[in-house]
Amino acid sequence: MRRLLLYLILGIGLVVFAYPFVWMGIATFTPEAEIPELTLLPSRWTLDHYRLVFERLPVWRGLLNSLVVALAVTASVLVFTSMAAYALAKLHWRGRETVFSIILFTMMVPFLLLLIPLYTLVVRLGWTDSLLGLIVPFMMNATGVLILRQSFLTIPRDLIDAARIDGCGELRILFTIVWPLSVPALVTVGLLTFIGSWNEVLWPIIVVREVQWMTLPQLVALFAVGGGAEGQLGPQLAAAFLLALPIVLAYLFFQRYFIQSFATGGLKG
Amino acid sequence: MGRGIAGIRLEQVWKIYDNGYVAVADVTFEAAEGEFLVLLGPSGCGKTTLLRLVAGLETVSRGTIRIGDQVVNDVPPRDRDIAMVFQNYALYPHMTVYENMAFGLKLRRVPKAEIDRRVRAAARVLELEHLLDRRPHQLSGGQRQRVAVGRAIVREPRVFLFDEPLSNLDARLRVEMRAELARLHRELGRTMLYVTHDQVEAMTLGQRIVVLNQGRVQQIGTPLDVYHRPANRFVAGFIGNPPMNFIDGRLERLNGLRFVGEGGHVQVPLAEAEWPNIQPGQRVTLGVRPEAVIPTTPERATVQGPVETVEVLGAVAHLYVRVGQTTVVAQVDAAQCPAPEQTAYLHFDSTRIHLFDAETGQALLRLA
Ligand SMILES: Nc1ncnc2c1ncn2[C@@H]1O[C@H](COP(=O)(O)OP(=O)(O)OP(=O)(O)O)[C@@H](O)[C@H]1O
Ligand SMILES: [Mg+2]
């Protein structure tokens, strides 16, 4: 009886959270006229919306741009933040605490504040209308440093010293000893970074004007507000659905680590 | 690698940590080529710090460290040709036993076949052959300890450093591994620097012992040296179990020179010729080990008093006897020891007593 109640409550919760997403997925295959009815069972299935999206938007090119940007950003964030986190957690040097405070401080600076100086910089470097302009400003971030430092702190000092005696330099220690022991935290940082980069719309809109360098979210956003969809809901939803798909897939694939990392205090402190 | 054996020499080495704590003060000692040298001292006396200095994991604040003929102060750990066994083993959790042992060799670009030969040879010696594919978390404490030793052996370093490698093992395993390490030392013939706070380990393994306290060397000598001729009160009290009896008092001249302590409850005649540096009136501490306190007749007794406790350990028993305000421990034959509450009559074997200056704690010179 108790059990039943529990399942009922969980079931309601599931419906509340899942319904919008499920509806959206189904709506992309529903004829335009039926969409406002919020139905989950359309009278017939259609691919028209997707056809329109693929006709009007360079979806594949946008997908490729987005992937390149997100992967490059994620890879470099993993490398650079773990280097910083290692230095902060495991090496002793003058000014370490100060540097850490400064890094923490940068977390409090809103991105909007950085927008104009960053833009000026990118223009000066001639990186507008290029993927470089989308990648370089995000190659490092404070949150990643914080999460990884916290995880690295749990690695015993003797383990690292043993590797030093065995013949490792610091970089090799980081990548052959520390990394394999910090997989959940690395996955967390990787996913957060990837998702953040994937979803970024504002910055690409500012830096990129040529369609060939636009990312998928940028294309979708411009499509939805820019009238490319001719006010139709179906194509807009279809474009948004395409956008969300890779993220959902990535999450499903990595969620085991993701949850583990949060559960084992990857974000503590 | 493979450059054979080398000694270690520390000269006036200091280590002052960033927070100003002086962990090692003016330490000088030498481990000869192939010697098994034990660093012995209580917790926090700077043993690990010393070992880490030799390994290059900490930098010396002052002084020089030599391995072989080379001053290694500025040489990074990997170029010192040493191997270290850590107190908690520090095995790489994500590598198998085999990979743990092979790791250091791979980094040194030792050919695969040679790595395999050395790892298997070490595994055979340490009886790890059937465990080579396991990961550290699938091993018992004793097995992990052997892997840690194996990881050191395969490197064939000039010098082995051990930081309390047996302290996490149970008593039986500890005895076993002690014998194992002694055998390894005989077979490898390499210089070994071994840190422990356990005097039994120090006495059984060490060819010589460096006794440390509060970052300073107290005495360097063979196990029997430090046991029978402790340089000061600290060494005398630290080595031996149960510890040496200490009685504070002064030297007086009544019927010849004698030690009078514990408000006159303890009187020990001293042969003046044996003690060149003592004078009547001097305040001293008398030390006598439990095995030099011998039950005797009332007429010959140096001290007497009621028995407080008797600990029977099989063949021998420890007798705790109340003398004045203090307790004197005697190690006696279990078969003929008095019962609690009875009066015990004890004699201090005069050839085995020690005198320490009451102020400095230094042992007073004794001839013969
Ligand atoms: N990084 C450090 N910074 C400041 N003080 C330290 C540091 N490492 C050790 N110490 C201090 O130096 C002293 C000696 O430490 P060390 O670890 O060498 O002792 P030990 O003899 O190995 O003790 P144990 O038998 O408990 O292992 C201790 O009082 C310790 O608190
Ligand atoms: Mg220690």
Residue with tokens 């194992």, as numbered in its chain: B180
Is the domain of A26 the same as that of A80?
Answer: no
Superfamily of domain B245-357: Nucleic acid-binding proteins (2.40.50.140)
Atom of ligand 1 nearest to the CA of B42: 25
**Per-residue confidence (pLDDT) for residue A23, from 0 to 100:** 86
CB atoms within 10 A of CB A51: 12
Is the domain of A141 the same as that of A211?
Answer: yes
Contact, B326 vs B263, CB < 8 A? no
Return the residue of B nearest to A172 by Cα: B107
Is the domain of A149 the same as that of A19?
Answer: no
Full domain range(s) for residue A185: 59-268
Put simply, the answer to whether A164 touches B78 (Cβ < 8 Å) is yes
Is the domain of A41 the same as that of A65?
Answer: no
Is the domain of A16 the same as that of A85?
Answer: no
- What CATH number corresponds to the domain at position A180? 1.10.3720.10
Of the residues B43, B48, B52, which should be mutated to test ligand 1's pocket, given the most ligand atoms within 8 Å of the CB? B48
Cα–Cα dist B139/A257, whole Å? 25
Is the domain of A29 the same as that of A119?
Answer: no
> Helix, strand, or coil here: B260?
strand
Interface of A with B in 78-97 (CB under 8 A): 92
For atom 12 of ligand 1, the residue with the nearest CA is: B23
Ligand 1 midpoint to CA B212 (Å): 13
> Helix, strand, or coil here: A131?
helix
Is B3 a residue whose pLDDT tops 80? no
A31 prior amide bond cis, ω within 30? no
**Per-residue confidence (pLDDT) for residue A35, from 0 to 100:** 81
CA distance B78 to chain A (A): 4
Q: Is residue A52 part of a domain?
A: no
What's the token pair of residue B212?
């440390």
Q: Is residue A222 part of a domain?
A: yes
Cα–Cα dist A248/A23, whole Å? 16
Is the domain of A21 the same as that of A142?
Answer: no
- What is the pLDDT tens value at each position of chain A, 269 positions in all? 788 999 999 999 988 888 888 888 888 888 888 888 777 788 888 888 888 888 888 989 999 999 999 999 999 999 999 999 999 999 999 999 999 999 999 988 888 888 999 999 999 999 999 999 999 999 999 999 999 999 999 999 999 999 999 999 999 999 999 999 999 999 999 989 998 999 898 999 999 999 999 999 999 888 877 766 677 888 888 888 888 888 888 778 877 776 665 554 433 32
- Bridge partners of B78, per DSSP, are none
> Cβ(B44) to ligand 1 under 6 A?
yes
**Per-residue confidence (pLDDT) for residue A266, from 0 to 100:** 37
Put simply, the answer to whether A161 touches B84 (Cβ < 8 Å) is yes
Put simply, the answer to whether B107 touches A168 (Cβ < 8 Å) is yes
Contact, B47 vs B202, CB < 8 A? no
List the one residue out of B285, B320, B316 whose CA is nearest residue B305: B320
Task: Count how many Cα atoms sit within 13 Å of the Cα of residue A145 in the half-sphere of its side chain.
Answer: 22
CB atoms within 10 A of CB A22: 12
> Cβ(B148) to ligand 1 under 6 A?
no
Burial class (CB in 10 A: 0-12, 13-18, 19+), A170: middle
Backbone torsions φ then ψ of B192, nearest 5 degrees: -130, 130
Is B213 a residue whose pLDDT tops 70? yes
Alpha helix ranges (H) inside B75-195: 97-107, 112-125, 141-154, 171-188
If residue A83 lies in a helix (H) or strand (E), which one and from where to where? helix A59-90
Contact, B61 vs B138, CB < 8 A? no
Q: What is the mean pLDDT of residues B79-98?
A: 94
Cα–Cα dist B104/B119, whole Å? 11
Taking only the tens place, the pLDDT of each residue in B343-367 is 999 999 988 999 999 999 999 988 8
How much is the ipTM here?
0.86
**Per-residue confidence (pLDDT) for residue A262, from 0 to 100:** 57
Residue with tokens 């071994």, as numbered in its chain: B194
The reply to whether B245-357 shares the fold of B8-238 is no
Interface size, chain A vs chain B, as Cβ–Cβ contacts under 8 Å: 56
Confidence of residue B1 (pLDDT cuts 50, 70, 90): very low
The sheet carrying B245-253 orders its strands as B266-269, B257-261, B245-253, B283-288, B353-357
For atom 20 of ligand 1, the residue with the nearest CA is: B44
Put simply, the answer to whether A161 touches B77 (Cβ < 8 Å) is yes
**Per-residue confidence (pLDDT) for residue A111, from 0 to 100:** 85
State in Å, rounded, how far the first CA of chain B is from the last one.
Answer: 47
Is the domain of A13 the same as that of A98?
Answer: no
Radius of gyration of chain B (CA): 25
Residue with tokens 């990394």, as numbered in its chain: A179
Domain B8-238 matching CATH 2.40.10.10: the answer reads no
Is the domain of A33 the same as that of A89?
Answer: no
> Cβ(B47) to ligand 1 under 6 A?
yes
> Helix, strand, or coil here: B156?
coil
Which residues in A lie closer than 8 A to residue B94 (C-beta atoms)?
Answer: 180-181
Q: Where are the domains of chain B?
A: 8-238, 245-357
